[in-house]
Amino acid sequence: MQWETVIGLEVHVQLATKTKIFSGSSTAFGAEPNTQASAVDLALPGTLPVANEEAFRFATMFGLAVNAEIGKRSVFERKNYFYPDLPKGYQTTQLAEPIVGAGFVDLELEGGRTKRVRIHHAHLEEDAGKSLHEDFAGMSGIDLNRAGTPLIEVVTEPDMRSAEEAVAFAKKLHSIVTSLEICDGEMSQGSMRFDVNISVRPKGTEKLGTRTETKNLNSFKFMEEAIELEVERQIDVLEDGGKITQETRLYNGDTKKARSMRSKEDSNDYRYFPCPDLLPVILDDEYIESVRKQMPELPEAKRARFVEQYGLSSYDAGQITMDKFSAAFFEASTKISNEPKLTANWIMADLGAYLNRTEQRIDHSPVTPELLAGLVVRIKDGTLSSKIAKQVFEAIANGEGDADTIIETKGLKQVSDTGALEKIIDDIIAANTAQVEGYRAAAEDKRAKMLGFFVGQAMKASKGQANPQALNELLVKKLNG
């Protein structure tokens, strides 16, 4: 049987506010345990929450970015359950009246295919603390620094049909929130966490299969692996005549294995009700418009602008604007070199590969926009062949200086000087009389192929520094006598 995969996501996005959603504690990452947990965060008796305006501004920006209706009246509710990382015994969240209503995100997939993923809603809520399980002799240690950090939870419709689509959506979401600067996007620090709802159904049918939820995936790679693994597992179960149990699963990225965490039967009755310590938050049109005006340029708008302003292809512009740091790098470098296409190629190819290999971020790249511009200018003016340019790039990355310094000290300047090239060609013609005769005797249409031999010899003799175009022209001229 042919199976179709159905995927919906719940994404927790930590907002980059300075303070927590309901207290004035810092949200800075990496502090000593419980040093950023105030009386409110610890749920000491008699303490009360007051909502952070920046969290609402960020959530509003997000809503506008995903084409959603902004909840002009949003209400916090209490979601009740006991867990040591949840000090109040309830999570303050939104349910019936969230800040962001239905919206959508359009994805461009490989091969130019597009896909619309609908957002069901997004709501504001507080993050929980952390449980640490090592070193306490059968006990767990609770750190509440993270408790109360503002989150938006983005809930999609079950619109994705493959791991590829789910990952594309996740990347797009990452690009939106980082471009808006409402989230630092640091996946390894848990700034974005994905819960994936997965089910399969016979291709061509409408009814959704029983789904499982794989929780807390914090990298695109793990997300892809976890989805593929779970889809395979579900299909195996169904093809063996079994049934899928609705359950929560955990994927371990190290062992590449997943396991069941709890089934639906043990699931909690959360007893949501409006939080009586907080009042409804009312946002008016004027506020929403003022937020819209302050919004940083979104990836989609930036992409259109890059096509228009720099003449990039839609695909290249999409790649460059996927990440706001790449886009900023591109613009800074192009401003100096005035060579948008070449710059984009270098960012996507050599620079991208280098950063990937060395696990560095483009905004911390040792090859700065200025350094890349210096290189690009020397390629354009013919000083460097593309082959030598790669060599110069590596040297720049190694901190050996800018392009001009490296060209100078290593003597890598391309040889375009006719005199020098003539000498090389004359020597080759003299040393290879048989080949020269063969060439001259050959028909016109065969000659092009035979020319390669002489080009190779000449390049070798010039240590790769011969300007290929000039070399070709001179060779043809001399061989034709």
Partner 1 sequence: MAVDRSDIAKLSKLARIQISDEAADEAAKSISDVLALVDQLQAVNTDGVLPMAHPLDAVQRLRADVVTEANQREMFQSIAPAVQDGLYLVPQVIE
Partner 2 sequence: MHQFTIAELVKGLRNKDFSSTEVTQHYLERIARLDKTYNSYITVTPELALAQAKAADRRLADGNQPALCGVPIAHKDIFCTTGVRTSCGSKMLDNFIAPYNATIVDNYLDSGVVMLGKTNMDEFAMGSSNETSYYGPVKNPWAIDCVPGGSSGGSAAAVAAHLAPAATASDTGGSIRQPAALCGLTGIKPTYGRVSRWGMIAFASSLDQAGILSRTAEDAAILLNDMASYDAKDSTCVERDVPDYTADLNKPLNGLRIGVPKEYFGEGLNPQTAAHVESAIKVYESLGATIHSVSLPHTHLAVPAYYVIAPAECSANLSRFDGVRYGHRCENPKDLNDLYMRSRSEGFGAEVKRRILVGTYALSAGYYDAYYSKAQKIRRLIKQDFVDAFQNVDVIIGPTSPSPAFQFGSKTKDPVAMYLEDIYTIATNLAGLPGLSIPCGLVDNKPVGLQLIGNFFAESQLLNAAHQFQQATNFHQQTAPNID
Binding-site member from 43, 51, 420, 461 for partner 1 (CB under 8 A): 51
Contact window for partner 2 (CB under 8 A) among 254-262, 276-284, 360-368, 455-463: 276-284
Residue 45 binds: one of partner 2, partner 1, none (C-beta under 5 to 8 A by kind) = partner 2
Does 405 sit near partner 2 (CB under 8 A)?
Answer: no
Calpha distance 35→17 (Å, rounded): 18
Residue 53 or 473: the one with the smaller Cβ distance to partner 1 is 53
What count of other Cβ atoms lies within 10 Å of the Cβ of residue 32? 8
DSSP 324-354: HHHHHHHHHHHHHH--HHHHHHHIIIIIHHH
Q: Which of 18, 28, 35, 39 binds partner 2 (CB under 8 A)?
A: 39
Both structure tokens of 313 = 């292809």
Interaction partner, residue 236 (partner 2, partner 1, none; CB < 5-8 Å by kind) = none
Between CA 327 and CA 314 the distance in angstroms is 14
Q: Does 142 bind partner 2 (CB under 8 A)?
A: yes
Three-state DSSP class for 421? helix
Q: How far, in Å, CA of 425 to CA of 412, rounded?
A: 20
Q: Does 143 bind partner 1 (CB under 8 A)?
A: yes
Query: Quick one: DSSP state of residue 188?
Result: G
Choose among partner 1, partner 2, none what residue 53 binds, the Cβ cut-off being 5 to 8 Å by kind: partner 1
Q: Does 290 bind partner 1 (CB under 8 A)?
A: no
Q: Does 263 bind partner 1 (CB under 8 A)?
A: no
Single residue of 2, 30, 32, 45 touching partner 2 by CB under 8 A: 45
Q: Which of 116, 69, 101, 167 is nearest to 300 (CA)?
A: 116
Nearest distance, CB of residue 276 and partner 1, angstroms: 6
Q: Which of 84, 202, 311, 366 binds partner 2 (CB under 8 A)?
A: 84
Looking from the CA of 187 toward its CB, the CA atoms found within 13 Å total 17
Q: Which of 56, 58, 62, 90 binds partner 2 (CB under 8 A)?
A: 90
Taking CB under 8 A as the binding criterion, the range among 82-90, 315-323, 356-364, 418-426 that sits at the site for partner 2 is 82-90
Compute how many other C-beta atoms are within 10 angstroms of the C-beta atom of residue 389. 22
At position 106, the amino acid (one-letter code) is D
**C-alpha triplet 313, 314, 317: angle, nearest 5°:** 85
Q: How far is the CB of 25 from partner 1 (least distance, A)?
A: 4
Strand partners, 77: 93, 274
Residues 97-136 that bind partner 1 (CB under 8 A): 131-133, 135-136
Structure tokens at 175: 């690009």
Interface residue with partner 2, options 12, 20, 57, 78 (CB under 8 A): 78
Which residues of this protein are in contact with partner 2, per CB under 8 A? 39, 42-51, 78, 80, 82, 84, 87-90, 142, 269, 271-273, 276-279
